[in-house]
A and B are shown apart, each in its own frame.
Chain A
Amino acid sequence: MTVQAERIRWETSLRQAQERAGREGRAILLDFSAAPE
């Protein structure tokens, strides 16, 4: 399951995601997780 979950390439820096979102005009899907994976 963990291996499959990694199919989504999560960005762990919100700032970097925001910079890309600004450049590409895309939405960010921001997931707040409760516990370490």
Chain B
Amino acid sequence: MDTVTYPDDRVAEFVEHHFLPARLKVKENHDLAADYLVSWTPNVVVTDDRGRVHYRVEGYLGPEDFLSRLSLGIGRFRLNRKLFAEAAARFEEVSRRHAGTEAAAEALYWLGVARSKQAHDPAQLRPSWQQLAQEYPNSEWNRRTRIPSKSREERRG
């Protein structure tokens, strides 16, 4: 990450603008690494002042992929803090800026969630999830939208 991804101007600017960046050496911070369930590096966690984990990136990613994940992490951080409009704006941006990637599919999934929470209306899941189905039919995120209905026998029982 230090040779390509972090030195990238876009990554550095995004990190400085959106996060408080902190770095710990695993060898010198065994207990904290264990607390954050770090069993492999690279391991980058979006966390908060209380140590809660909102998003995690494991393994090496190049600048473009890393940017999309950082952006998703900001969205999830906002969603968890019930800042639904701000979360939706972030997910929308990921879906546009990183169109065609798995991150964009993930963003559409969470965009539906943010909008439905904002409106207190599950029907608001539909527009984003329909877009997800149309544009990313083979994505795991699309499969996650399909909640199996109970079989007739289960309903009878």
Could you list which residues of chain A lie within 8 angstroms of chain B, going by C-beta atoms?
Answer: 1-2, 4-5, 7-14, 17-22, 24, 26-37
Contact = CB atoms under 8 A, between A and B. Distances in A.
Q: Among the interface residues B2, B12, B43, B48, which one has the most CB atoms of the partner chain A within 10 A?
A: B2
B6 A8 contact: yes
7 contacts: A4-B7, A7-B12, A8-B15, A29-B20, A31-B42, A33-B24, A35-B25
A34 B48 CA distance: 22
B22 interface: yes
Contacts of B36: 30, 32
Interface residues of B, number: 40
Contacts of A29: 15, 19-22, 44-46, 70, 73
B120 interface: no
Contacts of B73: 27, 29
Interface in B38-54: 38, 41-51, 54
Contacts of B48: 18, 21, 27-28
B109 interface: no
A11 B20 contact: yes
Contacts of B46: 27-30
A5 to B, nearest CB: 5
Contacts of B6: 5, 8
Contacts of A10: 21-23
Q: Which 9 A-B pairs have the closest CB atoms?
A: A22-B49, A4-B7, A29-B19, A17-B22, A10-B23, A21-B49, A34-B41, A11-B22, A7-B12
